[in-house]
Amino acid sequence: MDKIKILQINKLYYPVVGGIEKIVQQLAEGLNDKTDMKVLVCRKKGMGKTENINGVEVRKASSLGIYFSMPVSFSFFLCLKKMSKDRDVLLFHMPFPLGDMAALMSGFKGKIVVWWHSDIVKQKNIMWLYEPIMNKFLKRADLIIVATKGHIDGSKYLNQYRKKCVVIPYGIDGKIMRDSKSCEVRVKKDKDINFLFIGRLVYYKGCQVLLEAFSKLKTGKLIVAGEGVLKETLKKQAEKLKITGRIKFEINPSDKRVMELYRKCDVFVLPSVERSEAFGLVQAEAMAYGKPVINTRLESGVPYVSVDKLTGITVEAGNAKELSKAMEYLIENPDVREKMGIEAKKRAYENFSEEKMIEKTLKILNSVSRKVD
């Protein structure tokens, strides 16, 4: 049987770093030998070009730059029209308004699968303009993939398309799974434990709430690893709160260093405050290392990844007092940390493996391509 021909479409691609970009790369490389895979994205800025990245053909359309989190690319429309001609399935990653418009204008008659990652939250003031286009595209789609049931329940737009939604959880990078396999759940008995945050230093991650919560603790250390526009703001906040001796900022840690940080931490904290945090793959990665997670009660997939009172503690988003109490509780109860860490590792390996994500996606794409309208 001939391999299914897939064109995967997203805003950006590796080496751009981001949660969605990582998933797109995992799918592209994981399905490359099993399918005829091509990828279409935009450049952040510059002339278009075609690259071979780890064996995958990636077309990067020209772009005038990124505005309101969206590439401005006129050539993208022509690229999609040309590249989709011989494809069986187009796999779109949303939100990506430019992709929606290009698909609807392309005249493509084949199957369309959408991977819905998140509602548009920060740029919600443009929804009056974009929502009619988005709904037309979602009606056109043959199937919608989401990473958790929370993506459907927490969305303002997906409920009417619930019947065409399927759940495929994100997969943890294979390097992390291999490294974490040998990491046993070991718990300190003293109170000087290490809290860890990894992620972009941007508004919806809730790092300002985390620093406020941490300042209320008498013991413990905190590492904040990442890069972003709030870097200097957070450093000044740490000085104001007089916690600079107990907090360390690590800017853009390497993959090797990230794995080392997971190994050495005692508790992982994901203090996100907006639905822009739709899943939080970093919490699943920490769970693979047997670390309990403190996350937030968002209307998204976040609380579906690490489960309250099983693999960690879920607190109200933006509530520094409640977050601090959860951190204090885990400091004072090493037996609970150990139990949660064991359950966390078990859940990560059973639910969030890269292999399972790729296998389920391939099955879905093959099924959709064979479906007769």
pLDDT by residue, tens only, the chain of 373 residues: 589 999 999 999 998 877 889 999 999 999 999 999 999 999 999 999 999 999 999 999 999 998 877 899 999 999 999 999 999 999 999 999 999 999 999 999 999 999 999 888 776 677 777 889 999 999 999 999 999 999 999 999 999 999 999 999 999 999 999 999 988 888 887 888 999 999 999 999 999 999 999 999 999 999 999 999 999 999 999 999 999 999 999 998 998 999 999 999 999 999 999 988 989 999 999 999 999 999 999 999 999 999 999 999 999 999 999 999 999 999 999 999 999 999 999 999 999 999 999 999 999 999 999 876 6
* Residue where the block lists tokens 């065409």: 164
- Residue 151, SS3? helix
The answer to whether the 5-171+353-370 and 174-351 domains have the same CATH topology is yes
CA quadruple 263, 289, 329, 205: dihedral sign:
positive
275 and 119 Cβ atoms separated by less than 8 Å: yes
What is the topology classification, in CATH, of domain 174-351?
Rossmann fold (3.40.50)
Identity of residue 172: I
Output 42-51 pairs: Cβ under 8 A, ≥24 positions apart.
42/11, 42/12, 42/71, 42/73, 42/76, 42/98, 43/12, 43/71, 43/73, 44/12, 44/16, 44/71, 48/75, 48/79
Structural domain spans, the chain: 5-171+353-370, 174-351
- Which pLDDT value is given to residue 302? 96
- Residue 81, SS3? helix
Distance separating alpha carbons of residues 143 and 153, to the nearest angstrom? 17
- Which pLDDT value is given to residue 124? 66
What's the whole-model pTM score?
0.88
- Which pLDDT value is given to residue 65? 92
The torsion angle over the Cα atoms of residues 230, 205, 166 and 365, rounded to 10 degrees, is 30
Does 3.40.50.2000 match the CATH number of domain 5-171+353-370?
A: yes
Distance separating alpha carbons of residues 364 and 34, to the nearest angstrom? 13
- Which pLDDT value is given to residue 102? 94
